[in-house]
Amino acid sequence: MDSEQAGRLRAEMVERQLRGRGIADERVLAVMAQVPRERFVPAGSLGQAYLDGALPIASGQTISQPYMVAHMTELLEVRPGMRVLEVGTGSGYSAAVLAGLGAGVISVERHPELAEAARSRLAGLGLGAAVRVVVGDGSLGRPADAPFDGIVVTAAAPRIPAALVAQLADGGRLVVPVGMKGRQELMLVVRHGDRFEQSECGPCIFVPLIGEGGFAEPAAGSRYGRLRRWFGRSHL
């Protein structure tokens, strides 16, 4: 895929999949028209980089559907200078979008091989200083680096993780898919002092959040483990 073709496909993605489906933040649309999604998908999936759906990556994970990345980013209301925690680096694509909007991002990934690959991609795009990728249990957040103006979770939790709520700054926003396998609800939590406002923001399907604040690691060969490859697709 050459740069001209990729640019044309990005423009079509923005108009049809994002703007056409209700994404209204022009800054989000502009950044997603610039970030080269083809740099974040496996070599064998380059021709599918701009399709309207999630794609599998290494370690049984996915790169989320473009619409879902835009929707979650729009809900965060990212502004330059914000400190954002991302739980689940994956390929690094969502982190690149957040950094493109001017956020300083700490991204936590539980799979070391994904974290290393994402660091390399982000550095290659000149975003290494804006995004710090660390390996760990993202369901517990990063207490030493808190509070955060925004927290986005790119995997589904069985409930809103209490540790992440506690790490929100006053006025901070948490976006997280919540629910069991097969279907979840995208939740927005906004902190107002000691009060936390929750909103439901639409159905979705993501890979499970594994960790102390999420799901237990599925047993090897279990039906749940086999089904994980089908998670990550929005049904909006």
Q: Which residues are catalytic?
A: 64
- Spatial separation of the C-alpha atoms in residues 37 and 129, rounded to whole Å: 19
Place of tokens 């690691």: 217
CB contact at 8 A, 200 and 229: no
CB contact at 8 A, 107 and 95: yes
Cis amide bond preceding 56, omega within 30: no
DSSP letter (8 states) at residue 137:
-
CB contact at 8 A, 165 and 196: yes
Helix H or strand E encompassing 85: strand 83-87
